[in-house]
Amino acid sequence: DTEVTQTPKHLVMGMTNKKSLKCEQHMGHRAMYWYKQKAKKPPELMFVYSYEKLSINESVPSRFSPECPNSSLLNLHLHALQPEDSALYLCASSQVGLKNIQYFGAGTRLSVL
């Protein structure tokens, strides 16, 4: 099973809402990632978790708050977003170490009104 599952597939939220994106994998991977992809642009790294600890934060605004409650789950908590935060949010997972091949979910398409 090489599947990374992201929910929801689509999300519409207002600028005052609080919502969460979820990501789940059962491949035994101990590294998990969040990427943001704007329309017609390549994905951009946001966060990296390694062994459930945040190891990389690419200077992401605090209105995005990641959480890794266990080795299979990754959340992205959203609060007070702006319309320019509308994008496809991609989750990925991989082994930690030499064989760092990343497996991606299908993404959550977020619209901020």
Closest listed residue to residue 34, CA positions, set 45, 25, 20: 45
Kindly report the backbone phi and psi dihedral angles of residue 85, in degrees, each rounded to the nearest multiple of 5, phi listed first: -85, -5
Quote the least distance from Cβ 15 to another protein, whole Å: 26
Which residue number, 81 or 105, has a Cβ lying nearer to another protein? 105
Binding positions for another protein, rule: CB under 8 A = 4, 30-31, 33, 35, 42-45, 48-50, 55-56, 58, 90, 92, 94, 96-107
C-alpha angle 35/41/109, rounded to 5°? 55
Instruction: Work out how close the CB of 52 gets to another protein at its nearest, in angstroms, rounded to a whole number.
Output: 12
Closest distance to another protein from the beta carbon of 43 (Å):
5
Do 10 and 108 touch, CB atoms closer than 8 A?
Answer: yes
